Structure 1
C-alpha cells in the first residue's frame, strides 16, 4: 500500500481508521497532499472530491446527518478553511458529528507573509466542541532550530536524549489530541477541528508505515435522572390538568412508540409536533401555526399550559415561540443529553438525559388526569383542517397551492429535505405523509448549503431523496451540483417566486425599488442552464394542471437526477397566505 512519508499524516490516517471514520470529503489543494495521498490510497475510506469547500462541508454534513457518525472534510491551508465555517456552525447547533481536518503551514511560516496562510489555530473557537492543534514532526534537518530553543546542555548526550524525548513527546501529543477530538465528536455529536502543520516536501510516498499510533476508547457516561428531580416532576405532572409537549427537530425513529402512545392516552396532554420532528400520532397536533395563528387573547389563555415539556432540537414556528413567551407555563422542562435552550424564557428544569430514558422512568409513574384540555383543542384542530381544505380548493395557483400539490405527491418511505426560510414554513402548514423522513438545516436556519446537504444525504442513503427549496437558496448554493456523486434518483423542486418571498410575508413596505432590490432581491433567473451544465434533467410548471402532470413521472426511475422548477406569482403569494390565516379562524 502507498502511504504519505510524513509521520503526522500517517498518524492521522491510522487513527481515523481505528476510530471508524470512513467517509472523507476532500477539496483539492497542495498543503493537504499528504492527507489526500493517505486517504485516497486506502480502500477502507470512501473518498469524495468536492472542489468548493463550503459545498464540501455541507455535503459531508448531509452524510453525517444520515449516518449519525463522524464524517470528515479535508482542505488545504488558508481561506479554504474559512469556507467550512457555515457548515461547522450548522453542525454545532444541530449536533451533527463533523470532523474538520485542515492542513497548515509550519509555525515559522505563519505571520511572515507566506502565501495561502492565515491564523488557523482555534479559528472556529466559539462553534466547535474541540480544537486539536497538532505539532510539526521533528526531522533531522530541522532539529537545529529546536536545539536553539532548548537550555544549554552539559554534553552532547544530554542534547541527544532531549531530542529523542521531544520526538516521542510530539508523537504522543499528536496521538492524544487526535484521539480527544474524534472521541469528542463520537460522544457529544458535534463538530471538531484538527489542524495539522506539514513541512515540504508534501508529495513523498513510502511503502511502509513509520509510526503505529495508539487509539483510546471513548467512555460513555451512564444515563441517569436524579431521583429528587424525577419525584418532583411526577408530582407536579399529576397535579395539573394542562400539560403541553413541544417537539423540535428530531431524528426519525428516535423515540420509542410506547412512550408516544402513553402521552396520547392522557386528555390533559397536548403534543405539538413540527415538520422536522419526525413524530406522528393521530392524537398529536402537527401544523402548529395552523392551530394557533388565528387565536385571540381568550384562546391563548385557554391554551396556556401549566407545564411545558420539550425535547428535540430547535423550533421552527415563530408563532409558538411568541405564544409561550407571553403566556408562560408555570414549569418548563427540557430533556436532552447535551443542552437546553431557554427558548421560551421560562426554563425551570434541564433534565440531562435522553428522552427515551427519561420517559422510561417518568411516564410509568404518571397517571391520566381528568381534563377536557386536549378534547377541546381536538375540536379546533378538526375545524381548522376543514377550512384549510376549503381554502386550498378555491385559491389561484401560488406558493401555498404549489406546496399542497407537491407535498401530496412525494412517494412513500422516501426522504424529504427542506430548504430554509419560506420553504420549511410553508411545509409546516400541512400534515405530511407519515412514512416520510424529514430533514432541514435548522441549526442556524441559513439558506447556504441546503442543496449540498441534501446531496450528501442522498449519497449516504439508498432511499430516494427529494429537496424542496426556494429560488434564492438554490441559486446561492448552485455549486452543490458541481460534483460527480449525485444519485440518479435525487430530485430537486425549486419554488421560483422571483426573489425572497419570505420578506413579502413579514411586516414592511412592499413594492418599492428599495424593497425589491435589497430585501426581496427580485430577479428573472431560472435553473434551466445550470441543469444543462451539470447534467440534470430539467422540467418546469407554472400552473396547477401542469404541476400535477409533471409530478406524475417526476419521481420515476431515470438515468439522471431531475429538477422541477415551479414558477409562482410573487405579487400574490403573500396576500394569499395572509388571507389563509384569517380564513381558517
Structure 2
C-alpha cells in the first residue's frame, strides 16, 4: 500500500480499503466504465500495481466481457460504473451469472441517499436494481470517520467471503463530494490505521461433507452429465465415467463431448427420435445426473413421462435446475468431489449391465452430413474436427449450441476442448463481448460460433476488439434471420413467423472494413476449412461469415430425422 497520508480525502481512504480487501481475496481484475461519481474507485484501482484493468464505454459489453473472464477462471471479474442508469446495463449478464453460478462483483458508485431522494442529477434508486438475481448485496454508508478502517474492512471481507453459492455480488458505494483530489479534514491518525488492517477470514469452502445415497445396484442406471463449469477439475469425472461402465449422455455444456471417453459408452443426442424411442423401450430405473441443465428439452420431456425414475442430482448449491428434474436425492458438492468418493467406495461398480448399440445411427448421421449442402450440421461437425487441442469453443444460443450438442461420432476424438455458453437464461446478447473476455485470459485459441441475429444484437462490443492481438476466431453463421423458429410449430403461422424471425438481407463485409478487422466470407465447407486454417495460423482476431441457404439447411435437418437404428 502506498503512503496513506497522501490520500487527499475520506473517499479515497475508503476506496483504498475496498481495493486492499479485494486484493487480499485474490481479486485483481477490473472491468471499468467511465464516469465522475466512480472516480474515487478508479483512482484506488489505478494505485494497485497488480491490478489488471479493462476499460470500455458500454456497460452491457463490459459486463459480458467480465462474464467471459469469470467463466474461464472461476474468479470474479469486478465491474465498476458510475451512478444512474449505468449499472442497469449490467442486468442481462448478471442474470446469466446468477443462473449458472458464475462469480461477478458489481461496484456501483452512487450519490448520497439524501440527494437521491431529492432527485439529484444522474441519480436513480440503485438499491435492489438487480432484484432476485444476486447472491448478496452490500449497501455501504457514505464514507465517514465514525466507522473505523478495520471495521469497514471486516464488513467488506465478511461479505466477500460469505457462506453462499457462487454468483453475482453487488456493492453500492455512495460518495459525497469531493470526487477529485481536493483535500478534506480526514485526520492523519485515521489514515495511518490503514497500515494495520488485518484479514480475519476463517471459512473454508473446500471442506464439504456429504453422504452417498444408497441406490439398488440391480437397477438399470443411466449416467447423464449436464453443464459443468470449465474451471472445475474434470479428470475425476472422466475417471468416474470410464470406470462405471454405464451408458452415458454428455451434454455439450459438460465440456466432455470431444474428450477421450470411449465413444461406445456415449449415447447420441436426445434430439434423435430413434434415441428417444430406444430409451422408452428400454427405460433406465436410475439416472445419476452430474452438473447443470441440459440443452435438450427432450430429456426433460422423458423425465416427465417417467415419474417413477429415481434421480440422483449432483452439483453445486444454488445450481439452476429444470422443473422436471425433481430429484430423488440431491448432493450439493463439487462434482469432482462426488466422483472421487464414488470411485474410492466402489459406488458405481457391479451394477446391472445396461447398454445401447447406437453405432449404426451415428454412422448414418455422419454420412448424411458429409454429403449434405453447407448447413449448420456440416459446419459444427467440421469445426469439431478442425479444432486444435487446448481450444476454447464458445457457442451462441438457438441453433448454434443445439447443432454442436447434437454432434455424434463413431470415433473417440480425445481432444481437450473447453466449451462455454450462456445457458442460464439462454439469451442471445453479449457473445462478442464474452468471447473476448475469455480470450484475454486463455493461452489457447478461442472460437466463437453464433448466428447472425446474436451477432447483430452485440455489435457494440466490436469496438472493444480494435487494436487487440488475441487468438480469437469469431464465426457468424448467417442464415438471414432467426432460423431456429423454422424448426418449431410456429413455422406454420405465416402471419406471425416474419415478426419473430426478423429476416434481413445483410452481409457484414462493409462493417468489418469500416472497423478495420480481419474478415472472410465463406459459402461452402472447403472455403470454411481454408479460412479457419488461415485464422488459426494468424493467431489474431479473425471474423468468418458463413452464409447458408435456409431451405437447404432445413432439408438436412429433415433428412437427419429419418435415421433408423
Alignment of 1:79-94 (within 5 A): 79-94=85-100
Q: Do the aligned residues in 2 keep the contact of 1:449 with 1:477 (CA within 8 Å)? A: yes
Deviation, structure 1 residue 547: 2.2
Could you tell me how far apart the structure 2 residues matched to 1:253 and 1:106 are? 39
Alignment of 1:100-115 (within 5 A): 100-115=106-121
In structure 1, what is the equivalent of residue 217 of structure 2? Answer: 238
Alignment of 1:252-401 (within 5 A): 252=230, 254-255=232-233, 257=235, 260-267=238-245, 269-279=246-256, 280=259, 281-282=261-262, 283-285=264-266, 287-289=268-270, 292-295=272-275, 299-339=278-318, 341=321, 343-363=323-343, 364-366=345-347, 368-369=349-350, 371-374=352-355, 377=356, 379-380=357-358, 382-401=359-378
Q: Do the aligned residues in 1 keep the contact of 2:395 with 2:449 (CA within 8 Å)? A: yes
Deviation, structure 1 residue 421: 1.3
Deviation, structure 1 residue 510: 4.8
Deviation, structure 1 residue 277: 0.5
In structure 1, what is the equivalent of residue 481 of structure 2? Answer: 499
Q: Do the aligned residues in 1 keep the contact of 2:72 with 2:230 (CA within 8 Å)? A: no
Q: Give the direction of change, closer, same or farther, for the CA distance of 1:59–1:584 in structure 2 (3 Å limit).
A: farther
In structure 2, what is the equivalent of residue 35 of structure 1? Answer: 41
In structure 2, what is the equivalent of residue 460 of structure 1? Answer: 441
CA distances 1:506-560 after superposition (whole Å, capped 9, x unpaired): 11235835412x11100122332332333320101112332233233121125x4
In structure 1, what is the equivalent of residue 459 of structure 2? Answer: 478
Q: Counterpart of 2:49 in 1: which secondary structure? A: coil
Q: Give the direction of change, closer, same or farther, for the CA distance of 1:422–1:265 in structure 2 (3 Å limit).
A: same
Could you tell me how far apart the structure 2 residues matched to 1:99 and 1:4 are? 26
CA distances 1:67-106 after superposition (whole Å, capped 9, x unpaired): 2112100000111011111111111111111100000010
Gapped regions of structure 1 (runs ≥ 5):
139-166
CA distances 1:2-57 after superposition (whole Å, capped 9, x unpaired): 75631322221221222221101100111101111111233221111111101101
Q: Give the direction of change, closer, same or farther, for the CA distance of 1:456–1:205 in structure 2 (3 Å limit).
A: farther
TM value normalised by structure 1: 0.86
Range with greater deviation from structure 2 (401-410 or 119-128): 401-410
> Which of 138, 143, 146 is the matching residue for 1:168?
146
Could you tell me how far apart the structure 1 residues matched to 2:312 and 2:229 are? 20
* 1:220 aligns to 2:204 (yes or no): yes
Could you tell me how far apart the structure 2 residues matched to 1:387 and 1:344 are? 32
Structure 1 segments, 4+ long, off by >6 Å, are 205-208
Range with greater deviation from structure 2 (280-289 or 22-31): 280-289
Q: Give the direction of change, closer, same or farther, for the CA distance of 1:134–1:173 in structure 2 (3 Å limit).
A: farther
Q: Do the aligned residues in 1 keep the contact of 2:101 with 2:318 (CA within 8 Å)? A: no
Could you tell me how far apart the structure 2 residues matched to 1:286 and 1:202 are? 60
> Which of 513, 527, 531 is the matching residue for 1:546?
527
Q: Give the direction of change, closer, same or farther, for the CA distance of 1:331–1:25 in structure 2 (3 Å limit).
A: same
Could you tell me how far apart the structure 1 residues matched to 2:79 and 2:462 are? 18
In structure 1, what is the equivalent of residue 105 of structure 2? Answer: 99
Deviation, structure 1 residue 262: 4.7
Could you tell me how far apart the structure 2 residues matched to 1:510 and 1:215 are? 63
Q: Give the direction of change, closer, same or farther, for the CA distance of 1:135–1:243 in structure 2 (3 Å limit).
A: same
Deviation, structure 1 residue 218: 5.0
Could you tell me how far apart the structure 1 residues matched to 2:50 and 2:178 are? 26
Range with greater deviation from structure 2 (27-36 or 253-262): 253-262
Q: Do the aligned residues in 1 keep the contact of 2:314 with 2:333 (CA within 8 Å)? A: yes
* 1:251 aligns to 2:229 (yes or no): yes
Range with greater deviation from structure 2 (520-529 or 57-66): 520-529
Deviation, structure 1 residue 344: 2.9
Structure number with bigger Rg: 1
Counting matched residue pairs gives: 540
TM value normalised by structure 2: 0.89
Q: Give the direction of change, closer, same or farther, for the CA distance of 1:566–1:11 in structure 2 (3 Å limit).
A: same
> Which of 136, 150, 157 is the matching residue for 1:179?
157
Q: Counterpart of 2:161 in 1: which secondary structure? A: helix
Deviation, structure 1 residue 330: 3.0
Could you tell me how far apart the structure 1 residues matched to 2:316 and 2:482 are? 37
